[in-house]
Amino acid sequence: MTATLNDPGVKVPGRRPLRRGPVSGVWRPRNVAVIVGGLVVLVLALALNIGRGEFPISIPEVLAVLVGGGDAGQQFIVLELRLPRSLTGLLVGGALAVSGAIMQSIARNPLASPDIIGITWGASAAAVTLIVLGGSGLVGSLAAVGLPIAALVGGLGTAVLVYVLAWRKGIQGFRLVLVGIGINAMLTALVHWLLIIAQVYEAARAQVWLNGSLNARSWEHVVPVGIALAVLVPAALVLSFVMGALQYGDDTAKGLGVRVNTARSLLLLVGVGLAAVATAGAGPIVFVALVAPQIAQRLVGSSRPPIGASMVIGAALTVISDVIARTAFGAVELPVGVVTAVLGAPYLLYLLIRQGREARA
Amino acid sequence: MTTRSDTQTTAAPEGQAGRVRLAAEGVRLGYGDRTIVDDLDLEIVHGTITTVIGPNGCGKSTLLRALSRLLAPSRGQVLLDGRRIDRMPTKEVATVLGLLPQAPTAPEGLTVGDLVARGRHPHQAWYRQWSGDDEEAVAEALAWTGIADLAERPVDELSGGQRQRAWISMALAQGTELLLLDEPTTFLDLAHQVEVLELVTRLNTERGRTVVMVLHDLNLAARYADRLVAMKDGVIRAQGTPAEVITEPLLREVFGLDARVVPDPVAGTPMVVPIGTHRDR
């Protein structure tokens, strides 16, 4: 096939081609604008977050350090002490948002994000079990290493459970959401029970983790989340091609040659993997996975949550929430999950009310 | 550029006429334990419009689902060009056989252009989502169905007739020689029903598409089909030309309907006039 770069005409209105060699796609300027704009906001929020603290550093100075400038003291504070925390927030937020975008797309329902249908709490329940039963001694330290794995297993297990229970000759979005909300409630109860039977020290440790905290995050937290994202996000981008066809209902998708169940299972695996890795990294930071893809979809004006824009907006949202969590209440630092919950809950209510109206209409 | 897009498959090449494209052989169909169709045989001949009729629940949509590989027979087989359809890669099937489900749903906010472009999915890969061929085929399909000027409008803002034309345009862009339509005229008023069926007829005569569809309206079915297949209780009771199938005894037997059959004053095809009670004013 020859590249048609010399063909200037747009034959289908609204679908300007973008082609180079065998690669082709549709040029969507709004999508690119949202990603670029989101990146600018993200970098500024990151610099602001890093600059705040006992030794304030101005945003230009932070940016200078990030590109290799600044004095030794600033370099130490920025790169060793503060950057890992913000970077964890950025990566976790991005991972949650991509996870939300995938799950909302395959269920064709904005409520089907991992924090609503129990995936995040499944990961949390497994992690808390490990914290509580692992104790605080040597075993506990060893258990901490296994925390991400436990979270991953918990998240995947919950996803399989929800999927199987919601299955009735295929997956229908609203049933998946209802089953997920039920499972979520059970997992919440399980976590609370674990907190009650736990020793005070472990309970406190679990509680901090459960609020979704970026406190004391270092490079050892950044690396695993970063690696997981480096693998799973490209997978999501490749699979998003099939996601477009899955949007139409199973019969149409099959008619278009999509192996619906295989495609959906793979997408679910990637989505749950991202949510579980994020939860393992920073605890259950709620509502980012729900809200970010929806904001991205509205900004881009697309018919489904766009992966790239969702990721940037989820990252920015989490870093901004962390800025608020750290500075809004003076000396008291809130866990970032509290801020995202306060910001996200009204939006959840809005979605529930709107869907309720649609269901009745 | 002289790309000949594959929507341009015109009338059947010589030697294709009379060839069986799609066949059901002794199929048993159902959902779970419930058998709806048992031991059914059917052949779809190249270049024809075959319409399946029958009362509600007779298994006509179930049969269409089996022919389009959405439902696997628990016994027997469905053959596409002589090969077992369930053993062919689903993507390969999608380049030969297109389908339009009953009352299909599009995502909210999707534009007509994007909907029709989705028909190109079987010809694409994740890195190749809008090739020159894709663009040609979609532009052509939009123009041919008369909705090119609606390309940037959201599908959910269209009227019922326009929306159905958009879906047919998507099936056209898919470029398949066979097209299966499940009640393409549902929810449309009579004018738009005729409009859609005229479009289907043109797909057949101008584009050489082999069409299988399920229709409710007997008069329209008789008007727009080469072959009719009348089903009742999962069994084919009659098949043949409309004149052979639409008879007074068959209407009584299959539909439980007392009716007169008279020639359609426009086309001469059989026309069903129910007897029932009538009101003299």
Residue B104 to residue A19, Cβ atoms within 8 A? no
Distance of alpha carbon A152 from alpha carbon A359, whole angstroms: 34
Q: Which residues of A touch B117 (CB under 8 A)?
A: 12, 15, 26
d(CA A294, CA A103): 12
> Please, are residues B177 and B42 in contact by the beta-carbon 8 Å criterion?
no
User: Best interface-test mutation with B: which of A27, A108, A254, A256 has the largest number of B CBs within 10 A?
Assistant: A256
d(CA A234, CA A51): 31
Tokens coding B8: 């341009």
CA distances (Å), origin A111, targets A303, A327, A352, B163: 15, 31, 8, 27
Give A223's contacts (C-beta < 8 A, 6+ positions apart). none
Per-residue pLDDT of chain B (281 residues; tens, 9 = 90+): 334 444 444 444 455 668 999 999 999 999 888 999 999 999 999 999 999 999 998 999 999 999 999 999 999 999 999 999 999 999 999 999 999 998 888 888 899 999 999 999 999 999 999 999 999 999 999 999 999 999 999 999 999 999 999 999 999 999 999 999 999 998 899 999 999 999 999 999 999 999 999 999 999 999 999 999 999 999 999 999 999 999 999 999 999 999 999 999 999 999 999 998 877 76
Instruction: Render B133-176 in DSSP notation, one character per residue.
Output: HHHHHHHHHHHHTT-GGGTTSBGGGS-HHHHHHHHHHHHHHHT-
CB contact under 8 A, A12 and B127: no
Cα separation of B151 and B170, whole Å?
12
CB-based contact A256 B119, cutoff 8 Å: yes
Give, for A221, the enclosing helix (H) or strand (E). Answer: helix A219-246
**How far apart (Å, rounded) are the C-alpha atoms in residues A239 and A247?**
13
Q: Which of A306, A287, A155 is nearest to A233 (CA)?
A: A306
Give the C-alpha separation, B192 to B167, whole Å: 14
- Are the beta carbons of B151 and A26 separated by less than 8 Å? no
Spell out the residues 6+ positions from residue B136 whose beta carbon is closer than 8 angstroms to its own.
Answer: A11, B3, B5
How many beta-carbon contacts under 8 Å exist across A and B? Answer: 129
Contact (Cβ atoms closer than 8 angstroms) between residue A181 and residue A116 = yes
A-chain CB neighbours of B122 within 8 Å are: 256-257
DSSP B69: T
Check: CB of residue B58 under 8 Å from CB of residue B29: no
ipTM: 0.89
Asked if A301 reaches chain B (Cβ–Cβ under 8 Å), the answer is yes
In eight-state DSSP terms, residue A335 is P
Q: Cβ distance B230 to B238 under 8 Å?
A: yes
Question: What residue of A is the nearest CA neighbor of B108?
Answer: A303
The whole-model pTM stands at 0.88
